[in-house]
Amino acid sequence: IAHHCGTMAGEGKLALAVTLIAALMVKGSEGSEVQCGSCTLNVTAGVLDLQGSCENDCQSLDLRNLQIQEIPAGLFAGLSALQKVDLTNNLLTQVPSSALSNNTMLTTLILRSNSISSISNTDFVNLTSLVDLDISKNQLSSLSTGWAESLSSLLYLNISYNKLTMLSEGDFTGLVNLQKLDLSSNVIESIAPTTLDPVIRLIYLNLASNQISWLNGTLPMFENMTVLDLSYNSLTILDSAIFNFTVSIINISHNNLTCIAYNAFSMSVQAIYLAGNPLTCLDPMWNTLVRDYSSLNVCTAPRTCAPGEILPCSTSGDQQMCGCDAGYHVVYDGTYKCQPCPSGTFQSQFGVDNCTACTMTPCAIGQYRTQCQPTGDGICANCTNKMEGPTVYVSSGYPYDSNNCAWDCDAGLMLSMDSACAVSCA
């Protein structure tokens, strides 16, 4: 019993000590002072306050771990030299835009690990010099259309560890110079077409640890991508030309890939990461670039699908995904199938998903455009309808795809009664 009571007494002292330490930590956060130049900042009841005058001598504010809940409007208005604000690990529920509205020289804003649940299209409107913005580890479920339109100077954007479920058109409008975008560890399921078009200058894009299952038509022609990370998603198939842009390293490990089209990657790729996918084979063109998948076999040559045949590749043996033959394109009606190109379009290569509109422009004088076929565009060919002898063509085919070019007699001649160019105009 004595031992038990002694233990209880010890536990009571320990609990009291923990409580006192916790109280001191809270008091320390509340009463902590941050010095910046001639200014002093402190937190009272969760509200940040600034005392003193430091108009030109405060360039960087370290406000981490202060339990800040509110920053009054205009609080930083007099800090004309302010370039960096770090508000990591506080209790903010919204971007302190009213406090920063006059800080046009600010280049770095860190809002990591707060409770911000939304961003409005006016939050950053005056921060036109911003280069680095970190809003990771917050509660964002969507981005307001046009929120970044004034951030043309931004180079680095981190929105990882939020609750984004999709990326919509307009989410990145204005970020024309962005180089690094981190969207990892959200719950993104889909990316709307053209969403990423404004950020084609990206060199690093991290979409890892999301729930993306479909990419077709969502990735623009990035100009100089170095690293694209799509690991830990739900991709099952990589269609042809899906990565048909400049990119050095692609990480698609830990997805559900069973099939990779033989022409999925651009020739600029230097390394591919594929571990953790149920793949059976890979085209020999890419096999030497795989860095982390030693069990892959080399696929057999791709075969041509029959019209209407379901496209996804077989998982038996080493059979590669089939592709549509020339004259056909891919349609989706619950499964991927090959269908003939519609009238007025063509498709001339194996494995290309889409048909192209036939050329309808006229050819040069004396030529007409041959009929466009499902397997190839019309070409310019010489007209053969003029009379033999001293004659010359004076127009291209009319209609443009008809062997019917207007012609006339050579200079100085005219048609005779027997329809020959023999009578002199003189």
Residue 86 lies in a domain: no
Nearest to 116 by CA among 153, 85, 79, 143: 143
SS3 of 403, please?
A: coil
pLDDT at 282: 67
Residue 64 lies in a domain: no
Q: What is the DSSP string of 98-142?
A: HHHTT-TT--EEE--SS------TTTTTT-TT--EEE--SS----
pLDDT at 320: 44
pLDDT at 280: 64
Consecutive 10-residue runs of the chain (426 residues): their mean pLDDT?
39 44 37 84 94 86 96 92 96 95 94 97 94 98 94 98 96 97 97 93 97 88 94 87 89 87 82 84 71 59 48 40 72 68 89 85 94 93 90 91 91 78 71
Residue 413 lies in a domain: yes
Number of domains in the chain: 1
Residue 374 lies in a domain: yes
pLDDT at 4: 38
Residue 378 lies in a domain: yes
> In this predicted model, what pLDDT tens digit does every residue of 248-300 receive, in sequence order?
999 999 999 877 776 788 888 999 998 888 876 666 667 678 877 655 555 54
Residue 27 lies in a domain: no
Residue 34 lies in a domain: no
Domain residue limits at 404: 358-424
